[in-house]
């Protein structure tokens, strides 16, 4: 189907109906003097195209308008010349702290660590430390997270033990969708309230029974407050994938995560691209008792409290 023949457009999780498109065209024609940035922000507000925290989805709207313009559906205001920057822009080198050298070697009881905490990485230095640790020591390496994200450093009284990376949930998973019971429209609207534990690393020399489950328990208890403070809304569900060729997911089971089934291994294939992987175990951990009813509601926007 040619772009010009479309009646409905999609940008990420947002359906752009013919009525939306007509409104966008009429708005641009009515206010031709608006700068592109003003136009985009205003359309986000008028079309209720907002993040879960209530902020306009500027990037997504900008991409949509560019696609519509390329397809001949509308014409955006001309770009205004930006003020030149005085001199070349030099990005300061990021001062990072190296990984522990040597890495901690611990073989003890959990209680002997003197307390374990998950510390949210708020500074660029700590974020880079987590990235480096994952790149060097996690079987999957490090991959730039998408959507909303958070990194945690796992620390004891005397040692840095590993890290956790949270990012956006998988777009579509048959086992998860059946377990939650939501419709495609509800999933597209409410998926930001599901977080993916995309990386969980304890350094190779850390051999402390029950430490992994202990950390996962802490994560479930504190991520709601941390996410609320960082992104402005409270998540409802955690998910993760475990490769059954290497692990059984015992630490997730021990922390009360539920095994939902296996992924198909097919992934979301894009035209012209091939996707090869192995089926993974899919685990989930509800963060609020009414998570299912809320995820199955028409829209969670604005529902930030537990």
Tokens at 232, concatenated: 């402005």
pLDDT of residue 250: 95
Percent of the chain predicted with pLDDT > 90: 50
Please tell me the pTM assigned to this model. 0.74
Contact (CB, 8 A) for 217 and 256:
yes
Q: Find, among 242, 246, 240, the residue nearest to 281 by Cα.
A: 242
What are 76-121's pLDDT values in tens digits?
988 875 443 333 333 333 344 566 666 778 899 999 999 999 999 9
Domains of the chain: 3-70 (no CATH), 106-295 (3.40.630.30)
pLDDT of residue 303: 55
Find the range with the poorest average confidence among 37-41, 70-74, 270-274. Answer: 270-274
pLDDT of residue 54: 73
Kindly state the average pLDDT of the residues 256-277: 70
pLDDT of residue 147: 72
Residue whose entry in the numeric block shows the structure tokens 């002997």 = 112
Hey, what long-range contacts does 54-63 have (CB within 8 A, 24 or more apart)? 54/232, 54/301, 54/302, 55/232, 57/14, 60/11, 60/12, 60/14, 61/11, 62/36, 63/11
pLDDT of residue 84: 39
Does the pLDDT at position 5 exceed 50? no
Contact (CB, 8 A) for 143 and 115:
no
pLDDT confidence of 159, banded at 50, 70, 90? very high
Does the pLDDT at position 2 exceed 50? no
Q: Average model confidence (pLDDT) for the chain?
A: 84
User: Where does residue 35 fall: left (phi above 0), alpha (psi -120 to 50 degrees), or beta otherwise?
Assistant: beta
pLDDT of residue 276: 57
Kindly state the average pLDDT of the residues 240-267: 90
pLDDT of residue 32: 78
Does the pLDDT at position 63 exceed 80? yes
Choose between 277 and 114: higher pLDDT.
114
């Amino acid at each position: 189907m040619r772009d010009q023949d479309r009646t409905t457009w999609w940008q990420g999780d947002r359906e752009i109906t013919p009525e939306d498109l007509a409104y966008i065209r009429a708005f641009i024609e009515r206010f031709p003097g608006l700068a592109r940035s003003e136009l985009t922000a205003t359309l986000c507000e008028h079309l209720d195209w907002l993040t879960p925290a209530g902020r306009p989805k500027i990037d997504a709207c900008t991409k949509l308008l560019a696609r519509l313009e390329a397809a001949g559906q509308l014409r955006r205001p001309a770009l205004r010349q930006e003020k030149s920057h005085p001199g070349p822009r030099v990005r300061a080198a990021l001062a990072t702290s190296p990984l522990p050298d040597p890495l901690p070697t611990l073989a003890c009881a959990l209680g002997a660590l003197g307390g374990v905490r998950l510390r949210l990485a708020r500074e660029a230095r700590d974020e880079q430390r987590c990235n480096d640790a994952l790149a060097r020591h996690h079987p999957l390496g490090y991959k730039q997270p998408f959507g909303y994200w958070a990194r945690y450093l796992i620390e004891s009284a005397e040692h840095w033990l590993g890290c956790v990376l949270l990012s956006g949930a998988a777009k579509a998973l048959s086992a998860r969708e059946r377990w939650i019971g939501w419709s495609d429209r509800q999933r597209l609207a409410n998926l930001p309230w599901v977080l993916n534990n995309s990386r969980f690393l304890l350094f190779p020399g850390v051999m402390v029974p029950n430490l992994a489950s202990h950390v996962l328990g802490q994560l479930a208890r504190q991520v709601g407050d941390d996410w609320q403070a960082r992104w402005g809304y409270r998540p409802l569900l955690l998910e993760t994938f475990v490769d059954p060729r290497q692990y059984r997911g015992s630490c997730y089971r021990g922390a009360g995560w539920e095994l939902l089934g296996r992924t198909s291994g097919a992934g979301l294939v894009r035209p012209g691209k091939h996707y090869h992987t192995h089926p993974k175990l899919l685990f989930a951990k509800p963060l609020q008792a009414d998570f299912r009813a809320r995820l199955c509601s028409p829209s969670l926007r604005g529902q930030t409290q537990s």
